[in-house]
Structure 1
């Protein structure tokens, strides 16, 4: 990994455009051949911009925290944490993205570690979880390397209008009594 002067901070309303831009770039890189090309090449930018404007400017989906990872050159990655997402599974990491050109440099691991620290500091005891598209093999391997455990797929509708199998990935005993 290249040494960087990393800094983590919680996003504010002014960060919505940069977060949306990185989100779109990450999806174009990771989801080509998974989500519909027409969506990735068309509505993705405006749809992500609207989503992050709603979340960071208008407070939609609250409570949530968007943790930015930056260095002196700007935004390197972000993760979105929904602390009250599920009483059984615990907090949800709703997004985890790094600049596509920087994948493989250890930034995702550092960002995930920072999110885990926030979860621990919040007092959550049941663990945490996230959802990953079953076809996103690189992300699934990354989460397994970090100790995530995949559960059976469920079908979720994605913003491109199609339904895809997704896996819940859980950490630290994040499992309801019935699981």
Structure 2
């Protein structure tokens, strides 16, 4: 089922999400619906708060044949190295993108939908995607990671888009 993607201004996008207590059939169904929604919106990641559910869960698929798509529950970045500046956008802020500085490579730990521990060592687009989605779980948007001047310009552009 395709879910509604919440957009900038919705308070759920600014909530720090609670850890998932149980990985049950409801959570697995949510993850499947989120995956369908991500593909329908042509995204590479989607976090639960983006569909109005404040729980620490996200799905991702960077569309690389060497990198399997995945679902992470209660993810935590435990290591970051180097820096990388690349353009980012967000399904919750359609039409806007900006250069964002993030760690070049990370180690992320969480759980899979089977409840088993998962550790991912990532760089490149996968690293950026996992950091972006983890930010969503803490109520952080990519707009928060740009300079105040760039944020002001992006917000003005967003308001103009919303009016038009």
Alignment TM-score, normalising by the size of structure 2: 0.26
- Greater relative contact order structure (CA < 8 Å, 6+ sep): 2
